[in-house]
């Protein structure tokens, strides 16, 4: 019999039929009463949310103290009336009183803390049981709702194989507590199948499914991929879903049933979780299978998966909006089309926008519908370029990054194309790197200067432009192009000026001619001009670097300082081939080119002033880096002479030390200069070189930039003319040359005595004769120089050779006499061909003169007193002069020798004159006893 109710349970009984609420049917006899055993549940003890009383009291006291201090501080402030202060105090006391009353109540309850805790536990337990009751009611409602879909059979006793409730048995069990065993068998589950029985049933199902799908079902093209196992057919649609179908009857016309459904893309749940959506898919799927078969179930599940993919992307975009993409995306769901706008900050009101539309595209050519992306770029749909979408692994961030990468590539390509049309940006100075999915790795590398590359980037989230190294950038592509050009010009100007300073150039910041003058010389689109001057140049010459929209150009400019500011009088563009990058090598070539242009210009001016015919022609020596023409000059128009070919070629050879220009003038004589023989003129003078066989000659000048060589060239040509004549004279006399140059010629005119002479000449100026200090001709040097400038070198060489023997004899006589006081000998030079020797102590005066007798030169010696005694005695100091009685033997022929007696004198040849002079000296000194 049932026992009385206890606080912990409903009925307390013991029976072997049921234990712990589980029925036991083994060995039960019909009619035996079935009893239930219900045990007392253990109440859960609740401790969550409890606070210790002492902590609550402490916090309340601390809070009261803090509020009291705040009130005191507030009352201490001025501007409050006494009434307000009293009202504030009363308000504070009432508030604190309420708090302490609550604390008092809690303290009283705390005295019965154990009982209160048990009441709380009981309250929580009852609430839990109430929730269970509500769930039971809800489950019963769900069973009733599901049973409403059942369809009664003809006998109205079965619902699709499910029997109607047995109300009679239920009433009997509820009233008597006993159940009829025969009736319960209808509700008791059958015995579990063994493994062999289960395997046999599954194999039969597999066979039936194979036969049905192979013979009776018309499979859609998209359901060709399927497997049969475990009594079900699994159809797989790549990157979309898997569905398990089975049969409920052997009849091939019976309905297929949906057993399971799984997604085949990520991110997604492996299977549909139990719940409303799964129930809806299963119920709706079974209805479609019955009505439309496999074709219908594919269309239903395919559309379901497409919709779920779009919703998944929408959720991912919404999550992105909570992160770094905040305020940079606009996400909108329009039916089954997902619209995402990007780069919002680049599309203010009135400008074009860019977005993508993710939706379902209609199938074509036997293909099913599929997920696709429509791209609207800057307000225009893009038709020629498909946006890749990974339908196997959905990623909203990868999708938007891919679109932005394509948009970035498009913008950078446009910018490169626009810049390529400008001369300042050749294609070689731009390298486009495009990443297919990450625009942050896409860039347009720009070589702004030889040492300063820059990368143009587009920030993927905001769409703003940036330059690396960092700098400010515009928002629109047109603004970026203008900024890049401006930045290139600024960096180019800075780099050129920096490198120019390091190479010794002066940067003329103060040079600022009037803009009106600049328009007449430089392009109209000029933006920047830098003026440079090489150290050592004249003040009027500068180089201008012009940066314009048409490109970079270099100019040679001639300026002069006006009273108010600088003025420009001439500008010549420097031809630059290839890249005009301001490298150190380029600046070096620029210095050569500009120096050459300045040199040619000033020489042209000098030729124009002199009225000399000339012209410029391309150089025969081609240099790919330097294009310097040659200046051709008409020889006969420059100097009035006819010894040279009528063309002179002036060429610029480069720069020497200290930045000086090396200019060479090439010419050729009309006749070969074989008279020069093997004389190496270039070794003696580095300014000139000859090729005697061809008659060619080269004159080298080393001048400052801006100086003319025309005057020096004329002077050098006169020197060459003289040199040719002089060398011819030397060769005609068969004299060895010691040194030959354009300004000096040295030769030996007597090898036995090693007597040499040197003639220096310079253009039209007087020539100089240089003799060694101990030369025998030093006494007649003045006469020889006069002869040299009046009669030329030929007369001088002849004079040197014919006077040498006599002068050597004079030196011998002077050396023999020495410094004796009684034997002084004086040799006086009256001219080149007249000498007088005066024996002062002896009073003997002899005249030696060179005369021509029968076309042969002879030296004649006469006694000056005998030939003209009155004039010799009457001169001052001539009182002691006398006739040379000692020489009568020579005059009369008594003393024989290689000379001819002439009664009052004697004559000797050029070679015998020395012996005659010495014999005369011996006779004078022996006769008087003066010789040692």
The pLDDT tens digits for 311-321 are: 999 999 999 99
Whether residues 577 and 642 fall in one domain: no
Output the DSSP codes for 780-845.
GHHHHHHHHHHH-HHHHHHHHHHHHHHHHHHHHHHHHHTT-TT--EEEEEEETTEEEEEETTTTEE
3-state secondary structure 539-582: CCEEEEEEEECCEEEEEEEEEEECCCCEEEEEEEEECCCCCCCC
Whether residues 368 and 245 fall in one domain: yes
Terminal C-alpha separation, the chain: 191
Whether residues 355 and 207 fall in one domain: yes
For residue 915, the SS3 value is helix
Closest CA to 590 of 500, 663, 660: 500
Q: Which of 47-61, 707-721, 726-740, 788-802 has the lowest mean pLDDT?
A: 726-740
3-state secondary structure 487-516: HHHHHHHHHHHHHHHHCCEEECCCCCCCHH
Q: What is the pLDDT of residues 822-853, one digit of tens each?
A: 557 888 888 888 898 888 777 788 888 888 88
Q: Provide the token pair at 732.
A: 């005609």
Which range of residues forms the domain containing residue 855?
791-867+880-927
Q: Is the pLDDT of residue 228 over 70?
A: yes
Closest CA to 810 of 753, 878, 869, 884: 753
Determine the average pLDDT of the residues in 188-213.
86
How far is 596 from 630, CA to CA, in rounded Å?
10
Cβ-based neighbours of 57, under 8 Å, separated by 6 or more: 103
Q: Is the pLDDT of residue 652 over 70?
A: yes
pLDDT value of residue 619: 80
Residue 399: pLDDT band with limits 50, 70, 90 = very high
Residue at a domain's end among 354, 369, 394 = 394
DSSP state of 216: I
Cβ-based neighbours of 347, under 8 Å, separated by 6 or more: 341, 353, 354
Whether residues 534 and 604 fall in one domain: no
Q: Is the pLDDT of residue 429 over 60?
A: yes
β-pair type (755-760, 744-750): antiparallel
Q: Is the pLDDT of residue 350 over 80?
A: no
Question: Distance of alpha carbon 889 from its chain centroid, rounded?
Answer: 106
Residue at a domain's end among 92, 110, 130 = 130
How far is 833 from 836, CA to CA, in rounded Å?
10
| Residue 269 burial (CB count, 10 A) | 8
Q: Provide the token pair at 872.
A: 């010799």
Closest CA to 816 of 925, 663, 688: 925
Determine the average pLDDT of the residues in 211-233.
89
pLDDT value of residue 151: 52
Q: What is the pLDDT of residues 504-535, one digit of tens each?
A: 888 888 787 777 777 777 877 777 788 888 88
Residue 75 belongs to some domain of the structure: yes
- Predicted TM-score (pTM) of this structure: 0.53
The neighbouring-strand residues paired with 329 are 342
Whether residues 547 and 681 fall in one domain: no
- The CB-side HSE value for 847 (13 A sphere, CA atoms) comes to 18
How far is 598 from 605, CA to CA, in rounded Å?
11
Residue 732 belongs to some domain of the structure: no
For residue 901, the SS3 value is strand
Cβ-based neighbours of 338, under 8 Å, separated by 6 or more: 310, 313, 314, 317, 331, 332, 357, 358, 359
How far is 747 from 732, CA to CA, in rounded Å?
13
How far is 251 from 674, CA to CA, in rounded Å?
128
Whether residues 561 and 649 fall in one domain: no
How far is 802 from 810, CA to CA, in rounded Å?
14
Determine the average pLDDT of the residues in 745-762.
84
Cβ-based neighbours of 277, under 8 Å, separated by 6 or more: none
Closest CA to 559 of 600, 514, 593: 514
Q: Provide the token pair at 265.
A: 């893309």
Angle at 208 between CA 261 and CA 279, to 5 degrees: 25
Angle at 833 between CA 820 and CA 778, to 5 degrees: 55
How far is 51 from 490, CA to CA, in rounded Å?
72
Whether residues 702 and 797 fall in one domain: no
How far is 851 from 833, CA to CA, in rounded Å?
8
How far is 561 from 693, CA to CA, in rounded Å?
52
Whether residues 331 and 362 fall in one domain: yes
Q: What is the mean pLDDT of the chain?
A: 80
CA-CA-CA-CA torsion sign (54, 58, 59, 63): positive
How far is 203 from 19, CA to CA, in rounded Å?
39
3-state secondary structure 615-670: EEECCCCCCCCCCCCEEEEEHHHHCCCCCECCEEEEEEEEECHHHCEEEEEEEEEC
How far is 327 from 462, CA to CA, in rounded Å?
9
User: Domains in the chain: how many in total?
Assistant: 5
Q: Which of 234-238, 242-246, 294-298, 746-750 has the lowest mean pLDDT?
A: 746-750
pLDDT value of residue 824: 74
Q: What is the pLDDT of residues 899-909, one digit of tens each?
A: 888 877 888 88
**Segment (H or E) for 853:** strand 844-853
Cβ-based neighbours of 793, under 8 Å, separated by 6 or more: 725, 726, 729, 730, 759
Residue 426: pLDDT band with limits 50, 70, 90 = confident
Determine the average pLDDT of the residues in 664-688.
68
pLDDT value of residue 310: 93
Main-chain dihedrals φ then ψ at residue 568, nearest 5 degrees: -115, 130
| Residue 351 burial (CB count, 10 A) | 11
pLDDT value of residue 340: 94
Residue 409 belongs to some domain of the structure: no
Whether residues 81 and 220 fall in one domain: no
Residue 429 belongs to some domain of the structure: no
Whether residues 697 and 822 fall in one domain: no
Q: Which of 8-22, 42-56, 383-397, 555-569 has the lowest mean pLDDT?
A: 8-22
Output the DSSP codes for 342-377.
E-GGG--TTS--EEEEEEEEPP-TTPPPEEEEEEEE
Q: Is the pLDDT of residue 8 over 80?
A: no
Residue 523 belongs to some domain of the structure: yes
Q: Is the pLDDT of residue 131 over 90?
A: yes
| Contact predicate 546/519, CB 8 Å | no
How far is 686 from 662, CA to CA, in rounded Å?
12
pLDDT value of residue 12: 36
Closest CA to 562 of 584, 591, 540: 540
Cβ-based neighbours of 783, under 8 Å, separated by 6 or more: 829, 831, 832
Q: Is the pLDDT of residue 27 over 70?
A: no
| Contact predicate 43/122, CB 8 Å | yes
Q: What percent of the chain is helix, strand and coil (3-state, nearest 5)?
A: 40, 25, 35
- The CB-side HSE value for 102 (13 A sphere, CA atoms) comes to 10
Q: What is the pLDDT of residues 478-497, one digit of tens each?
A: 467 777 878 877 887 888 88
How far is 542 from 552, CA to CA, in rounded Å?
17
- Above pLDDT 70, what percent of the chain? 85
Cβ-based neighbours of 915, under 8 Å, separated by 6 or more: 897, 898, 899, 908
Q: Provide the token pair at 342.
A: 């990007």
How far is 905 from 920, CA to CA, in rounded Å?
11
Whether residues 611 and 576 fall in one domain: no
Residue 340 belongs to some domain of the structure: yes
Residue 725 belongs to some domain of the structure: no
How far is 266 from 391, CA to CA, in rounded Å?
9
Whether residues 559 and 645 fall in one domain: no
pLDDT value of residue 681: 55
Residue at a domain's end among 107, 130, 153 = 130
Q: Provide the token pair at 127.
A: 């609430």
Q: Is the pLDDT of residue 789 over 70?
A: yes
Q: Max alpha carbon distance in the chain (Å)?
A: 205
pLDDT value of residue 245: 92
Residue 66: pLDDT band with limits 50, 70, 90 = very high
684: left (phi over 0), alpha (psi -120 to 50) or beta: alpha
The neighbouring-strand residues paired with 354 are 342
Q: Provide the token pair at 744.
A: 């000096």
Residue 448 belongs to some domain of the structure: no
**Segment (H or E) for 718:** helix 710-732
Residue 187: pLDDT band with limits 50, 70, 90 = low
pLDDT value of residue 874: 54
| Contact predicate 905/889, CB 8 Å | no
In angstroms, what is the C-alpha Rg of the chain? 64
Q: What is the pLDDT of residues 539-577, one digit of tens each?
A: 888 888 888 877 778 888 888 877 677 777 788 888 876
């Amino acid at each position: 019999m049932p026992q009385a109710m206890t606080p912990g349970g409903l009925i307390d009984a013991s029976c072997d039929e049921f234990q712990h609420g589980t029925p036991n049917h083994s060995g039960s006899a019909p009619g035996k009463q079935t009893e239930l055993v219900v045990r007392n549940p253990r109440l859960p003890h609740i401790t969550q949310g409890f606070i210790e009383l002492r902590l609550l009291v402490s916090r309340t006291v601390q809070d009261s103290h803090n509020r009291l201090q705040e009130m005191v501080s507030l009352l201490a402030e001025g501007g409050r009336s006494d009434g307000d202060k009293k009202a504030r105090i009363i308000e504070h006391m009432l508030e604190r009183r309420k708090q302490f009353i609550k604390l008092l109540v809690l303290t009283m309850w705390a005295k019965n803390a154990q009982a209160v805790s048990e009441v709380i536990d009981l309250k929580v337990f009852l609430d839990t049981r109430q929730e269970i009751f509500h769930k039971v009611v809800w489950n019963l409602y769900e069973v009733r709702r599901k049973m409403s879909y059942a369809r009664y059979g003809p006998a109205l006793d079965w619902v699709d194989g499910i029997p109607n409730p047995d109300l009679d048995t239920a009433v009997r069990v509820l009233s008597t507590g006993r159940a009829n065993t025969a009736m319960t068998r209808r509700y008791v589950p059958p015995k579990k199948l063994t493994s062999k029985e289960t395997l046999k049933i599954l194999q039969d199902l597999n066979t039936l499914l194979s036969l049905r799908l192979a013979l009776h079902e018309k499979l859609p093209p998209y359901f060709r991929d399927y497997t049969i196992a475990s009594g079900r057919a699994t159809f797989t649609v790549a990157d979309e879903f898997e569905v398990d179908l089975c049969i409920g009857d052997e009849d091939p016309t019976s309905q297929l049933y949906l057993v399971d459904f799984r997604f085949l893309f990520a991110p997604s749940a492996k299977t549909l979780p139990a719940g409303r959506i799964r129930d809806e898919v299963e119920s709706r799927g079974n209805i479609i299978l019955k009505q439309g078969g496999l074709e219908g179930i594919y269309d239903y599940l395919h559309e379901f998966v497409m919709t779920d993919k779009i919703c998944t992307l929408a959720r991912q975009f919404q999550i992105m909006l909570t992160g770094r993409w905040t305020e940079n995306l606009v996400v909108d769901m329009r039916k089954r089309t997902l619209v995402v706008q990007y780069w919002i900050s680049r599309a203010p009101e009135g400008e074009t926008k860019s977005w993508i539309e993710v939706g379902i595209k209609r199938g074509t050519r036997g293909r099913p519908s599929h997920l696709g992306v429509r791209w609207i770029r800057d307000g225009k749909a893009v038709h020629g370029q498909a946006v890749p979408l990974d339908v196997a692994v959905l990623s909203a961030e990868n999708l938007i990054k891919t679109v932005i990468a394509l948009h970035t590539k498009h913008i950078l390509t446009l910018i490169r194309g626009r810049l390529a049309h400008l001369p300042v940006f050749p294609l070689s100075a731009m390298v486009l790197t495009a990443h297919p999915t990450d625009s942050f790795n896409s860039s347009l590398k720009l070589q702004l200067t030889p040492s300063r590359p820059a990368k143009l980037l587009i920030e993927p989230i905001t769409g703003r432009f940036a330059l690396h190294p960092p700098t400010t950038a515009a928002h629109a592509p047109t603004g970026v192009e203008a900024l890049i050009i401006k930045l290139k010009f600024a960096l180019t100007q800075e780099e050129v000026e920096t490198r120019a300073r390091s190479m010794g150039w002066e940067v003329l910041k103060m040079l600022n001619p009037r803009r009106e003058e600049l328009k007449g010389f430089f392009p109209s689109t000029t933006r920047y001009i830098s003026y440079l001057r090489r150290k050592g140049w004249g003040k009027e010459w500068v180089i201008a670097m012009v940066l314009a929209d048409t490109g970079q150009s270099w100019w040679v400019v001639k300026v002069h300082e006006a009273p108010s500011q600088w003025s420009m009088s001439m500008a010549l563009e420097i031809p630059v081939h290839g890249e005009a990058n301001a490298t150190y090598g380029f600046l070096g070539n620029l210095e050569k080119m500009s120096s050459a242009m300045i040199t040619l210009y000033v020489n042209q001016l000098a030729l124009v002033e002199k009225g000399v015919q000339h012209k410029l022609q391309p150089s025969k020596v081609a240099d790919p880096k330097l294009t310097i023409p040659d200046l051709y000059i008409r020889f006969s128009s420059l100097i009035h002479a006819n010894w040279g070919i009528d063309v002179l070629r002036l060429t610029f050879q480069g720069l020497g030390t200290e930045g000086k220009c090396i200019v060479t003038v090439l010419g050729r004589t009309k006749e070969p200069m074989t008279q020069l023989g093997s004389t190496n003129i270039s070794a003696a003078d580095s300014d000139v070189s000859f090729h005697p066989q061809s008659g060619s000659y080269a004159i080298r000048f080393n001048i400052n930039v801006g100086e003319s060589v025309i005057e020096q060239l004329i002077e050098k040509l006169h020197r060459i003319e003289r040199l040719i004549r002089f060398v011819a004279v030397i060769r005609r006399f068969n004299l060895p040359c010691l040194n030959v140059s354009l300004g000096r010629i040295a030769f030996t005119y007597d090898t036995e005595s090693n007597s040499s002479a040197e003639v220096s000449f310079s253009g039209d100026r007087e020539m100089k004769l240089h003799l060694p200090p101990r030369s025998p001709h030093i006494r007649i040097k003045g006469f020889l120089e006069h002869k040299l400038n009046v009669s030329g070198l030929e007369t001088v060489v002849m004079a040197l050779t014919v006077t040498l023997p006599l002068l050597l004899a004079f030196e011998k006589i002077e050396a023999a006499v020495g410094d004796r006081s009684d034997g002084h000998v004086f040799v006086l030079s009256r001219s080149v061909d007249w000498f007088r020797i005066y024996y002062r102590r002896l009073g003997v005066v002899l005249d030696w003169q060179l005369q021509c007798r029968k076309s042969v030169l002879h030296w004649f010696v006469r006694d000056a007193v005998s030939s003209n005694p009155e004039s010799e005695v009457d001169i001052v100091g001539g009182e002691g002069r006398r006739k040379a009685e000692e020489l009568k033997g020579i005059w009369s022929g008594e003393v024989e020798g290689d000379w001819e007696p002439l009664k009052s004198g004697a004559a000797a040849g050029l070679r015998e004159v020395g012996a005659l002079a010495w014999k005369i000296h011996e006779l004078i000194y022996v006769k008087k006893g003066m010789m040692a």
